[in-house]
Amino acid sequence: MPIGEDSKRVFVDTAWNRKPHACYDPKIDKFFEVKRLTDLKHYDELYLDSLLFLGIWSELRKLIADGHKVHYFTRPWTWRKLRKRFMHDLTKRLGVRDVKKTDYGDAYILWKVHEMGALKGDTHKWFRRLTMIDVELRPLLIKERVYRRWLKKTRQYEDLGIDMGGENFLKHMLEETRKTIVVKARKLWPGFLEIANRLGLSEDDLGGLTGLAGTLVFLGWPLRRPSMHKALRYFGLFRPSKEAKMRFMERTGKKFRKRYSGAAREYLNAMTAALLTKEGWEYLPPRAKDEARVLRKLIDTLNALT
């Protein structure tokens, strides 16, 4: 019987550069490797780590289209803490005294985190389910960020008197990628242009519409009903009090640091900048309070449509 034939879940430490993916099947308590994620088609649910690179999305599309539930780990900054927390379980399972960072070990820890979340009822805080909206738009959003950042660097070098070349090519590719994102967004969300119009964006504003599409993807709409309270933390727009920072430092012995999605913040920033430009505001780049205002308006619009 193939691995996973009679199993429900598998936990995967994804790898790139054509390396095999390390997997752990908790039902049969076995580690194994696969070259492609589509080799795990016998499983109903897949739990991946946070490494979701461009080459992996075509495989995820096939799995999700076939009805598999795919989740990914949403708190990569906690890896060191989790490895330390489950060190005893990991040494016992692997049968070694000194456990270092291994792919199999991380796959095993993903399972332990899932079990811990299931007991506490907060699995959704550790893993997020991928949808067809994600597999269609996230690869394009990754490409858009790459072209945008390289174009920015090229212009910065030109300001220093260094001609890098390729600016026209990057501008063309960035524009074409944004057009593709908007076309896909209109197909995936029938009310996409209605949302844009309610916010004040026009059909010709590629930057603003791309920012809107990216923000909707990271909000998880319509699978998730977004709340302003959670969104402020996810986009890094909350301001903790000094007392809260001190309590954190006393509890952990570490300096307080904000944890939020930088990619999500970039698209919210792009959408906010486009709206402020239309309103004739002079404060560019947008301030945090401007982003929070636009985010609140977007969430109110989404909740009114659902």
Give pLDDT tens digits for 47-65. Answer: 999 888 888 999 999 999 9
Whole-angstrom CA distances from 92 to 67, 72, 279 are: 35, 26, 61
| Token pair in block for residue 201 | 């964006």
Residue 194: band (very low, low, confident or very high) from pLDDT cuts 50, 70, 90:
very high
pLDDT at res. 246: 77
Domains held by the chain: number: 2
Q: Is 188 within the bounds of a domain?
A: yes
pLDDT at res. 7: 57
Which amino acid is it at 138? R
| Max CA separation in the chain (angstroms) | 66
pLDDT at 86 over 70: yes
Distance CA 155, CA 163 (A): 9
Stretch 83-98: mean pLDDT, rounded? 79
Task: Judge if 122 and 140 occupy the same domain.
Answer: no
Closest CA to 72 of 134, 7, 3, 146: 134
Over residues 210-243, the pLDDT tens digits come to: 999 999 999 988 888 888 988 888 888 877 777 7
pLDDT at res. 283: 64
Q: Is 94 within the bounds of a domain?
A: yes
Q: Is 1 within the bounds of a domain?
A: no
Q: Is 3 within the bounds of a domain?
A: no
Q: What range does the domain containing 225 cover? A: 132-305
Stretch 138-142: mean pLDDT, rounded? 94
Considering 129, 144, 163, which residue would you say is the last residue of a domain?
129
Residue 6: band (very low, low, confident or very high) from pLDDT cuts 50, 70, 90:
very low
Residue with the two structure tokens 């960035």: 174
Task: Judge if 53 and 125 occupy the same domain.
Answer: yes
> What share of the chain has pLDDT > 70, as a percent?
92
Closest CA to 105 of 70, 126, 80: 80
Q: Is 33 within the bounds of a domain?
A: yes
Which amino acid is it at 301? T
Apex CA 236: angle with CA 234 and CA 237, to 5°?
A: 110
Phi, psi of 207 (to 5 degrees): -65, -45
Task: Judge if 13 and 59 occupy the same domain.
Answer: yes
Distance CA 277, CA 151 (A): 21
Whole-angstrom CA distances from 263 to 2, 68, 151, 269 are: 39, 26, 17, 10
pLDDT at res. 80: 87
Domain of 125: which CATH number?
3.30.420
Neighbouring C-beta atoms of residue 135, cutoff 10 Å:
21
Considering 102, 129, 156, which residue would you say is the last residue of a domain?
129
Task: Judge if 291 and 155 occupy the same domain.
Answer: yes
Residue with the two structure tokens 């909350």: 238
**207 close to 196: Cβ distance less than 8 angstroms:** no
pLDDT at 285 over 60: yes
Q: Is 187 within the bounds of a domain?
A: yes
pLDDT at 105 over 80: yes
Q: Is 2 within the bounds of a domain?
A: no
Across all residues in the chain, what is the average pLDDT? 88
Residue 98: band (very low, low, confident or very high) from pLDDT cuts 50, 70, 90:
low
DSSP assignment of the chain: --TTTT-SEEEEE---TTPPEEEEETTTTEEEEESSGGGGTT-SEEEE-S---GGGHHHHHHHHHTT-EEEEE--GGGHHHHHHHTHHHHHHHHT-SS----HHHHHHHHHHHHHHHHHHT-HHHHEEE--HHHHHHHHHHHHHHHHHHHHHHHHHHHHTT-----HHHHHHHHHHHHHHHHHHHHHH-TTHHHHHHHHT--TT-HHHHHHHHHHHHHHTTTTS---HHHHHHHTT-----HHHHHHHHHHHSS-------HHHHHHHHHHHHHHHHHHT----SPPHHHHHHHHHHHHHHHHHH-
pLDDT at 101 over 50: yes
| Token pair in block for residue 157 | 């070098």
Task: Judge if 50 and 144 occupy the same domain.
Answer: no
pLDDT at res. 111: 95
Q: Is 61 within the bounds of a domain?
A: yes
pLDDT at res. 141: 94
Task: Judge if 62 and 211 occupy the same domain.
Answer: no
Stretch 134-149: mean pLDDT, rounded? 94
Task: Judge if 284 and 136 occupy the same domain.
Answer: yes
Task: Judge if 293 and 162 occupy the same domain.
Answer: yes
Task: Judge if 167 and 240 occupy the same domain.
Answer: yes
pLDDT at 208 over 60: yes
Task: Judge if 297 and 159 occupy the same domain.
Answer: yes
pLDDT at res. 300: 94
Considering 72, 106, 129, which residue would you say is the last residue of a domain?
129
HSE on the CB side for 152, CA within 13 Å? 6
Task: Judge if 191 and 100 occupy the same domain.
Answer: no
pLDDT at 1 over 50: no
pLDDT at 269 over 90: yes
| Token pair in block for residue 124 | 């959704």
pLDDT at res. 100: 66
pLDDT at res. 162: 83
Distance CA 126, CA 48 (A): 11
Residue 161: band (very low, low, confident or very high) from pLDDT cuts 50, 70, 90:
confident
The mean-pLDDT minimum among 95-99, 104-108, 265-269, 278-282 falls in 95-99
Task: Judge if 114 and 209 occupy the same domain.
Answer: no
